[in-house]
Amino acid sequence: MFNVFPTARLRPSPFFHAIKAEGCTSASIYNRMILPASFGDPEKEYWDLIERCVMWDVGAERQVQLEGPDASTLAQILSPRDLSNQKIGQGKYVPLVNHQGTVINDPIVLKLREDLWWFSIADSDIWFWARAIAAERGLDVEISEPDVSPLAVQGPLAENVVASVFGDWVRDLKYFWFNEAEIEGIPVAVQRSGWSKQGGFEIYLRDGSRGTDLWNIVKEAGQPYGIGNGGPTSPERVESGLISVGSDTDSRTSPFDIGLDRFVNTDVHDGVIGIQALRLIEAQGAERRVVGIVLDGDEPDPFGFHWEPISIDGVKVGSLTNSVFSPRLKKNIGYGLVNADVQLGDRVVVTRAPGKDVEGSAVAMPFI
Amino acid sequence: MFNVFPTARLRPSPFFHAIKAEGCTSASIYNRMILPASFGDPEKEYWDLIERCVMWDVGAERQVQLEGPDASTLAQILSPRDLSNQKIGQGKYVPLVNHQGTVINDPIVLKLREDLWWFSIADSDIWFWARAIAAERGLDVEISEPDVSPLAVQGPLAENVVASVFGDWVRDLKYFWFNEAEIEGIPVAVQRSGWSKQGGFEIYLRDGSRGTDLWNIVKEAGQPYGIGNGGPTSPERVESGLISVGSDTDSRTSPFDIGLDRFVNTDVHDGVIGIQALRLIEAQGAERRVVGIVLDGDEPDPFGFHWEPISIDGVKVGSLTNSVFSPRLKKNIGYGLVNADVQLGDRVVVTRAPGKDVEGSAVAMPFI
């Protein structure tokens, strides 16, 4: 819709020259970086992900590095999930909350050493957050952004591609676990991870000057498997029920509202940010829940960027936080962040624009 | 270069329908909002600003609202500038710093009541910052984003336009002072302010449902003065020496590095964030300074998004933090963030790309 150019404020990743050469046409901005979205054929890019494999420049998944004697202490203070048993080489998905228990980010938290952690973040400024907390609590920890840029390989054939580059050991990695490695002199960390539910890996490039080299190595290894381009903004993430913080959350969304209960441990120590608020919400029960919404009709009508009101019997019960046309379901689907008493199967009305009401149903997530 | 679409994460402003209707073609992303940059003719938009007047959707200048008994206390804790004598109805430009004295934003700080402040922010997340500090210090203050969206009217004829809408009282407003007002039932605050040095006002819309109405009122009032469209990303801001935090600053830039000394008062109380660090830097002297750089040659070559190395006699002395072609000077100009011992008049070499060195000179700022 609008042409956007990279600037010092809207940084391209080390894969910028590669994605330009590949013909990237549209992008999003994520963590103040260019996040490639499409190379001109979103439908092909979707099916490549579902049926084969794709490589994505996800350098916009920036790292907040905690390093120093108090790094582990700060990691736990920021995380309402118990990290005490986390091993070196292990990653965990953690919904971060503020003092009111509102979700502010949902990084993968990687433990590299006892005194070195990376928070591989979603789209909000956790450097500011972590620095403010560390300084106010007098912790001995340095918070910085390391030279690290993830490149994703996703899809059912992704493991073959990544194994052919790094070796069969990658096949034994458990979900979110990672190993440090090197390929043609390029330092990386390889993690089973990714912004889809089709399986795959993220290769954390640790030398920004080698972006094009790493891109070409993966691209060549992917040729036998028909590797394609694309970006993680496809309908697949909605079909798969993945939450996007900042899209599917508002200024009062708790982890319990959006089904992240299993990633919260309210028995962590009292100094963890937001833990008192989360205990209270847990005791009282969440006021809201997230449900799938399938709209009636089968004409693609995916566009929607304001939270669209959801009503039952003329009473507003929540909002449609996203909306895509699912190529596999051939339906317009999205998430409803609704009152806790909305039931699966309930019939709803979504006001997509003034005067444009569309009926639909509340369903279980994920959709597929 | 890349097509970007508004989403829940990349919010359009209340003027979105208006700027679409006007034919906005390119935009930046600022505070996770769409910031219109051009309507297809950047050179005309530049001269409209310099010679007549323009209206800009600057809704991306979002407001961080502090409200409650401790609002004034928190405003001062966040600000290394003395706010004790700030009057209701007055705004001040304040470089915010972190605990290390590094600039993290440079809002206009507006005092609406003793217990109600707005920080009209540049592009970084001050909600997170303010909430972390307030909660860690146990302050009784609510931090939120109010329904407020600035619309700028800039240029030598801007005062006539704004006076014809609101009355001649606007002519008496001192710089950064504001009044609350209403026009056709639309609540606003009118401030002498703006993202240029051509003079003008920002009209803070206080009802997001009335964006198109306010746009049309200003547009109609501007017709006799030849009001045009555009956006605040023009070469004018560089010619005028305005700092863009995040573009012209890095992860260790103090206010003293970038010539903001006069907006810092190191005699504010010890609880102000970063004040100890700033006192130390002030005592030791800044290691860097910002100078104007005029490149040799007169062919437009404005593009540059990585900080380009600046050298003297083969030794790197700093970086070119931005680069534009000045239509009035007919030269490529930019800012050099350089070692403090670089002198005005020094000849420099800027490495614009590997193997592409261009000579130039250090000059005083602003350029015009």
Q: Each residue of B207-225: pLDDT tens digit?
A: 999 999 999 999 999 999 9
User: Which homologous superfamily is B16-60+147-237 in?
Assistant: Probable tRNA modification gtpase trme; domain 1 (3.30.1360.120)
Residues of B in contact with A136 (CB under 8 A): 132-133, 136-137
- Do the chains contact at B7 and A29, CB–CB below 8 Å? no
CA dihedral over B207, B16, B55, B66, signed as positive or negative: positive
Residue B4: predicted pLDDT: 87
B10: closest CA among A105, A30, A40?
A: A30
CA-nearest residue to A13 within chain B is B306
- Do the chains contact at A2 and B24, CB–CB below 8 Å? yes
Contact B41, A41 (CB under 8 A): no
- Do the chains contact at B26 and A137, CB–CB below 8 Å? no
What ranges do the domains of chain A cover? 16-62+147-237, 63-144, 287-368
Residue by residue, DSSP assigns B129-162 as HHHHHHHHTT---EEE--S-EEEEEESTTHHHHH
Mutate to test the interface with B, among A2, A33, A103, A276 (most CBs of B within 10 A): A2
Write out the CATH class of domain B288-368: mainly beta
User: Which homologous superfamily is A287-368 in?
Assistant: Aminomethyltransferase beta-barrel domains (2.40.30.110)
Residues of B in contact with A26 (CB under 8 A): 2-5
What architecture does CATH give domain B63-139?
2-Layer Sandwich (3.30)
Residues of A in contact with B244 (CB under 8 A): 9
- Do the chains contact at A7 and B99, CB–CB below 8 Å? no
Residue A292: predicted pLDDT: 98
Q: Each residue of A97-135: pLDDT tens digit?
A: 999 999 999 999 999 999 999 999 999 999 999 999 999
Residue B233: predicted pLDDT: 78
Residue B338: predicted pLDDT: 98
For B111, list phi and psi in degrees, rounded to 5: -100, 110
- Do the chains contact at B26 and A3, CB–CB below 8 Å? yes
User: Which tokens belong to B186?
Assistant: 């639309």
Residues of A in contact with B26 (CB under 8 A): 2-5
CA dihedral over B137, B141, B145, B151, signed as positive or negative: negative
The answer for residues whose C-beta is within 8 angstroms of residue B224's C-beta and 6 or more apart is: none
Quote the CA–CA distance of A213 and A203 in Å, as a whole number.
13
Closest-CA distance, A2 to chain B, in angstroms, reads 5
Fold: same for A16-62+147-237 and A63-144: no
Q: What is the pLDDT along chain A (368 residues), one digit of tens a residue?
A: 788 888 888 999 999 999 999 999 999 999 999 999 999 999 999 999 999 999 999 999 999 999 999 999 999 999 999 999 999 999 999 999 999 999 999 999 999 999 999 999 999 999 999 999 999 999 999 999 999 999 999 999 999 999 999 999 999 999 999 999 999 999 999 999 999 999 999 999 999 999 999 999 999 999 999 999 999 978 999 999 999 999 999 999 999 999 999 999 999 999 999 999 999 999 999 999 999 999 999 999 887 667 999 999 999 999 999 999 999 999 999 999 999 999 999 999 999 988 899 999 999 999 99
Quote the CA–CA distance of A14 and A6 in Å, as a whole number.
13
For A4, list phi and psi in degrees, rounded to 5: -125, 140
Q: What is the pLDDT along chain B (368 residues), one digit of tens a residue?
A: 788 888 888 999 999 999 999 999 999 999 999 999 999 999 999 999 999 999 999 999 999 999 999 999 999 999 999 999 999 999 999 999 999 999 999 999 999 999 999 999 999 999 999 999 999 999 999 999 999 999 999 999 999 999 999 999 999 999 999 999 999 999 999 999 999 999 999 999 999 999 999 999 999 999 999 999 999 978 999 999 999 999 999 999 999 999 999 999 999 999 999 999 999 999 999 999 999 999 999 999 887 667 999 999 999 999 999 999 999 999 999 999 999 999 999 999 999 988 899 999 999 999 99
- Residue recorded with tokens 């600046």: B310
CATH of A63-144, one of 3.30.710.10, 3.40.1010.10, 3.30.70.1380, 3.30.70.1400: 3.30.70.1400
Closest-CA distance, B157 to chain A, in angstroms, reads 29
Q: Name the fold adopted by A16-62+147-237.
A: Gyrase A; domain 2 (3.30.1360)
- Do the chains contact at B4 and A3, CB–CB below 8 Å? yes
